[in-house]
Structure 1
Amino acid sequence: MTSHTPDPGLRAVADVAPCVLWAANADGAWLYVNPAWTRLTGQDADAALGVAWLDLVPEAQRQRVRRDYVNGILSAEPFEIRHDLNARDAGAPVSVLMRVHPEFRGDRQVVGFAGSCSLQQAVDHPFRTLVDHAPDIIARLDRGMRHLYVNHAIRDAFGIDPAAAVGKDAAQLGFPEDVACAFADVAQQVFDSGEQRGFDFTVSTMRGTRHFSSRVLPEFDGQGAVSSVLVITYDVTQRMLAQLERDALLIREQAARVQAEAAAQARDQFLSIVSHELRSPLNGIQSWTHVLENRVGGDSPPIARAIAGIKKGVQQQVRMIEDLIDATRVMTGKLRLVKQSFLLRPTIEAAIGNVARDAYERNIDIRTQFPDEDIRLVGSAERIEQIVWNLLTNAIKFSAPGAAVDVEVAVRDREICISVADSGKGIAPEFMPYLFDPFRQADASNTRRAEGLGLGLTLVQRLAELHGGRVTAYSEGENRGAVFTVYLPLAEEAPLARDEGVPRAVQADQGTAIPSLSGIRVLLIDDQREARDSLTELLQEAGAQVMPLESGMRALEYLSVIEKAGVPQVIVSDIAMPGQDGYVTLQQIRQMEKRDPGRFAAPIPAIALTAFGQREDRLKALASGFQVYLAKPANPSELVAIIDMLAKPSRTGAAQARH
């Protein structure tokens, strides 16, 4: 008989059974109880349905019985409740034992419960047949730990004949010594305390290693003494295996997380080292190239062409390094934007200026169309410039000489639309779904004509998304051009952002005349000889008096003995140096300045010239006391212009002192 669809034949048997039998739904509410309930309690069977049977439990026990009943149902395991009932023809409540067994469907989902309710004094007789065929092992033990009774389930679990078990203890039945001893200890505790206990054990059976859980319950005689104990043992192997699997999964997941975090940290360290090791040699190449350009570049067209090629190669290498690091940080979710309000047009014009030389060399005309009113955007001006630069670079690269690239900016439906259109190579329909995938290129063969890593469009898409926008691409096919459109949310009214770092007026380009550094004393700290020598030559050519040193410790020794008249007016320091990095070096210089104000009238302006090129590195350098941050390879004109700017206050003060 199930709690949902009672079998008519089984129900007919239950109706005439001498003991109380009942069935409940998955919530525990009784759906059926046989007439024996009425004979025991005097309550009509229909009145006991739902939870009305609790009405006959004495009020003092009702809350405890309801709680035990609900908790037992939630456990989905067989359980028992001992309580009293206000029964018919009884001067006092009678003590009963309610047994509850869950019913499962094929997927182990609980669909209901079946149970019995019996007088505790009559356990042996009315329910002997029911207990004999119960799926769980039910046994009664005397004080000598001998079995007075055990049902047939012991044969299925351990291969022990129930009749042969009577009069024997657990050790005599062949259970391992540790299990038998622990079992006897728990049973003795129940005899001594009169309170139920639990006991879990694992044994090897005919079906392999099995896990069991036992509940040991006291049985009282008429004088209230514990005369025997009732042991109900459940096979919990499946539940235990499921828990072990969950634990194993948790351990594997935690190990995988630790490994992933370690791999991410190793990757970040590797990228930082790669960036540093690739940028540092480029700094020497660029500085030496600038020296050569100033000395012999104008006298020989082939040499001038060679120098221009070297400079362009350096720029391409720097861009690829930055794209690789940016793409990795974007794809791992570690790129963060510092968003501020800024005007869009100057940012786009800056991107156009950065590709002007490439466009000129390929005879590409860049045409622009801006709206009449200023457009304000909230985001990172540096990253928006990077988006436009990547789109323009692609458009120029894939356009035929003499063609035009159109840049249009418009506002539609509270969105800013930035379109870059060309009439060049176009995009094949079959490649369109993979257009923004990293490292994917339409022509990846050894004979491809376009250089690059295949990261530019990936960065465009991810950077647009970080600004709350999106990017689309359209092409009618190969050799029919392409249009890329970036959609960004229009900014609300907000104050314009101030430029960070070096003012634009100081950011000199290659076409700006290098100012004279005549009379300016520069302390140069760099552990790499090539970078140190090339920068020394560059600055001396500009007229500076340079003291090149290979470490922070040597710089501190030099500053500790230099006379006031020889104190440098500007410090240019690398960051990553063995023994003592640039941050620590500058901190100790600042402490020296405070201790000796006679020689150091003011803090010496400092420039961080480093191969660590991420935004976080710049913020850390500025927070550590450096006035300016420059990533290697630094533009020589820009470096000289910044030194000139930082040295002006000291030169002005010296001139006033002479007068």
Structure 2
Amino acid sequence: MTTSSTGAAGAQPVPSGFAVSERTARLRAEAALFMRDHVLSLVSHDLRGPLNAIHSWAYVLERKLDANDPNAQRAVTGIRSGVDQQVKLLETIVDATRAETRSLALAYAPFPLHPLLDETVDEVRSNLARPRGVEITVDSQLATEQLNGDRERLAAALWVMLTFAVEASTEGAALTLAARVDTGAWHATVTYDTNEAALNDPALPHVLETFARQQAGEPREAKRIAWVFALCKRVAEAHGGSFEQSDATGGEAATLALRVPLSAMAPR
């Protein structure tokens, strides 16, 4: 079944006093929470490598330096002490702060997938796509399929995907949400033509955090996602599924792909 709806019939001015629904505001805050914890996770991971290297080289220096030189020994001790302090900070502050989303609690229950799509798309259309003049087309092959998982968490992941695609689209652009079920898994893919100017234009209505939108335009290391999709990745993996972000290349559109098993189970 394929359905289509237009976010705006034509060009519309930026609304004065742009406001969003209570649900959109809550989803925005939740996305920001996962983003914060994702950044903390990256900081913890990326700092441990250099700190371990400094610690190892301190032992090498200690063996090379004169054991009877108090200044040299004091310097080595200071290096080791500084590294230990930084590691302790990572463990007690950085790692502890992100504990809430690291061990994500899920409320498992069976639910139909098609209403989830309709509700989430309607939320994004009314709160962002229409004010931005962006069209959302839904290409759904779903009928009565159900998924055993956390409905609210999965709705939030889909909301982030659609919201980002709208924010990255120019006025009059169209994006597509394709949904299907095969081999025991639900697949939701958002396809859109990304425009960095539209993503960061302060004159346009925005829902996502400014720093998140700016970071999304920066080069990414292999297999790393933009920070804004931290919630999508964490929720997908907590259900035993996956999330992938593909940038536009060779004239092709960008894609965001969510895959979740119908009988979702948290990975051991």
Q: Place the TM-score, normalised by the shorter chain, in its bin.
A: 0.5 to 0.7
* CA separation of 1:399 and 1:380: change in aligned 2, threshold 3 A: same
**Partner SS, residue 148 of structure 2:** strand
The corresponding residue for 1:376 is 146
Work out which of the residue numbers 121, 127, 130 in structure 2 matches 1:352: 121
Please report the TM-score for the alignment, with normalisation by the length of structure 1.
Answer: 0.23
**1:324 has 2:32 as partner:** yes
2:157 is aligned with what amino acid?
A: I
Distance 2:24 2:116 in 1: 21
Gaps of 5+ in 2: 1-14, 39-97, 197-210, 219-225
Distance 2:245 2:37 in 1: 24
**1:417 has 2:125 as partner:** no
Distance 1:459 1:478 in 2: 28
**1:394 has 2:102 as partner:** no
CA contact (8 A) 2:120 2:155 kept: yes
User: What does the per-residue CA deviation read over 1:289-342, in whole Å, with 9 as the maximum and x for residues that have no partner?
Assistant: xxxxxxxxxxxxxxxx54x42x34988765443323345678522420111100
Q: Provide the aligned C-alpha RMSD in A.
A: 3.1
CA contact (8 A) 1:326 1:335 kept: no
* CA separation of 1:477 and 1:337: change in aligned 2, threshold 3 A: same
**1:343 has 2:51 as partner:** no
User: What does the per-residue CA deviation read over 1:506-545, in whole Å, with 9 as the maximum and x for residues that have no partner?
Assistant: xxxxxxxxxxxxxxxxxxxxxxxxxxxxxxxxxxxxxxxx
| Structure with greater proportional helix content | 2
CA contact (8 A) 2:165 2:194 kept: yes
1:347 is aligned with what amino acid?
A: L
The corresponding residue for 2:6 is none
The corresponding residue for 1:385 is 155
The corresponding residue for 2:229 is 457
Work out which of the residue numbers 357, 364, 369 in structure 1 matches 2:134: 364
* CA separation of 1:424 and 1:415: change in aligned 2, threshold 3 A: same
| Structure with greater proportional strand content | 1
After superposition, residues 224-235 of structure 1 pair within 5 angstroms as none
CA contact (8 A) 1:424 1:479 kept: no
User: What does the per-residue CA deviation read over 1:601-650, in whole Å, with 9 as the maximum and x for residues that have no partner?
Assistant: xxxxxxxxxxxxxxxxxxxxxxxxxxxxxxxxxxxxxxxxxxxxxxxxxx
In the TM superposition, residue 422 of structure 1 has moved relative to its aligned partner by: 0.7
Distance 2:156 2:20 in 1: 18
User: What does the per-residue CA deviation read over 1:546-571, in whole Å, with 9 as the maximum and x for residues that have no partner?
Assistant: xxxxxxxxxxxxxxxxxxxxxxxxxx
**Partner SS, residue 215 of structure 2:** coil
After superposition, residues 146-545 of structure 1 pair within 5 angstroms as 306=16, 308-309=17-18, 311-312=19-20, 318-327=26-35, 331-332=98-99, 333-357=102-126, 358-371=128-141, 373-425=143-195, 441-443=215-217, 455-477=227-249, 480-491=252-263
Please report the TM-score for the alignment, with normalisation by the length of structure 2.
Answer: 0.54
The corresponding residue for 2:223 is none
CA contact (8 A) 1:470 1:487 kept: yes
CA contact (8 A) 1:371 1:410 kept: yes
* CA separation of 1:319 and 1:372: change in aligned 2, threshold 3 A: closer
* CA separation of 1:487 and 1:478: change in aligned 2, threshold 3 A: same
* CA separation of 1:317 and 1:381: change in aligned 2, threshold 3 A: closer
2:192 is aligned with what amino acid?
A: D
CA contact (8 A) 2:124 2:163 kept: yes
Instruction: Provide the identity percentage.
Output: 22
* CA separation of 1:312 and 1:398: change in aligned 2, threshold 3 A: same
In the TM superposition, residue 470 of structure 1 has moved relative to its aligned partner by: 0.1
Higher relative contact order (CA 8 A, sep 6+): 2
**Partner SS, residue 186 of structure 2:** strand
CA contact (8 A) 1:408 1:420 kept: yes
User: What does the per-residue CA deviation read over 1:452-503, in whole Å, with 9 as the maximum and x for residues that have no partner?
Assistant: xx643011101100111001222343874311111111239xxxxxxxxxxx
CA contact (8 A) 2:240 2:261 kept: yes
Distance 1:315 1:349 in 2: 15
After superposition, residues 46-57 of structure 1 pair within 5 angstroms as none
User: What does the per-residue CA deviation read over 1:73-112, in whole Å, with 9 as the maximum and x for residues that have no partner?
Assistant: xxxxxxxxxxxxxxxxxxxxxxxxxxxxxxxxxxxxxxxx
1:473 is aligned with what amino acid?
A: Q
In the TM superposition, residue 365 of structure 1 has moved relative to its aligned partner by: 1.3
Distance 1:416 1:313 in 2: 28
1:399 is aligned with what amino acid?
A: S
Distance 1:316 1:490 in 2: 26
After superposition, residues 79-90 of structure 1 pair within 5 angstroms as none
* CA separation of 1:392 and 1:484: change in aligned 2, threshold 3 A: same
* CA separation of 1:322 and 1:478: change in aligned 2, threshold 3 A: farther
CA contact (8 A) 2:216 2:227 kept: no
Distance 1:343 1:369 in 2: 17
* CA separation of 1:478 and 1:396: change in aligned 2, threshold 3 A: farther
Matched residues, number = 166
2:148 is aligned with what amino acid?
A: V
